[in-house]
Amino acid sequence: MRNRMILLPGWGLGTASLQPLAASLRAQDPRLQVELMPLPELAEPDPEAWVDYLHRKLPTDVWLGGWSLGGMLASALAHKRGDHCCGLVTLASNPSFVARGDWPHGMAPDTFGTFLDGCRSHTQVTLKRFRTLCSDGAQQPRTLLRQLGVGVPDTDPLYLANGLEVLRALDTRAALEHYGGPQLHLFAGSDALVPAEAAKALSNLLPDVEVGLVEDSSHAFLLEYPQDLAAGIKSFLHESGDD
């Protein structure tokens, strides 16, 4: 099924955020079947349980991809599936969203903890703040902010908080190092949530893997430049033997 790709969204925004990119991919490569899968809604914030859930739900022997948290989950699932994953594409997806001692290219743990507390106590305010951060650094941040507010699902606050717990716990560096399939990781140059330095650090960690940085773009760059990103992904798929 090398002509089939499953894309996972970022935290809190649902699959609507992926629609422009999916439409551009289908338009540029009519043979490619692009399907969108929402994030799990599970009562337990265990990353392994989330990856196992996706493993049960998603077909094997397809390309996996995702934006931000979706890309991290796709990375873990690609490693779990090994040869039964055609390849991996991540967008603005930090291997570790939260900074660690050996990975300083993430959000400070205290800052993340404050954000998680806000999600639990003032969910809608936190979601709006999150969308603003996603649009920071964009060429037209107000337009992008409006786009990000379209089609947002009414997700139970418990599942949103659990998603943040998963985001805090995930560290996909080992998964990426041990996954032997083709990989493409694209980052945004003016991302307010994932430091651009993460791109260089990942490139150093995985010297044989394709890592790109899109200058002057926000965390939600897949809504800013869907056609350009689709063109890059299409080239990657074909270079990886998807002809």
Kindly give, in sequence order, each residue whose CB lies less than 8 Å from that of residue 1, ignoring residues fewer than 6 positions away. 59, 61, 62, 86
> Could you read off the pLDDT tens digit of each residue along the chain, which spans 243 residues?
589 999 999 999 999 999 999 999 999 999 999 999 999 999 999 999 999 999 999 999 999 999 999 999 999 999 999 999 999 999 999 999 999 999 999 999 999 999 999 999 999 999 999 999 999 999 999 999 999 999 999 999 999 999 999 999 999 999 999 999 999 999 999 999 999 999 999 999 999 999 999 999 999 999 999 999 999 999 999 998 644
Write the CATH number of the domain with boundaries 4-239.
3.40.50.1820
133: left (phi over 0), alpha (psi -120 to 50) or beta: alpha
pLDDT for the residue 2: 81
Kindly give, in sequence order, each residue whose CB lies less than 8 Å from that of residue 156, ignoring residues fewer than 6 positions away. 41
pLDDT for the residue 243: 45
- Burial label, 123 (beta-carbon count in 10 A; 0-12, 13-18, 19+): middle
Give the residue numbers annotated as catalytic, written as ranges: 68, 191, 219
* Domain segments of the chain as ranges: 4-239
Question: 43 by DSSP, 3-state: which?
Answer: coil
Kindly give, in sequence order, each residue whose CB lies less than 8 Å from that of residue 151, ignoring residues fewer than 6 positions away. 14, 15, 16, 17, 19
Beta bridge partners of 183: 88
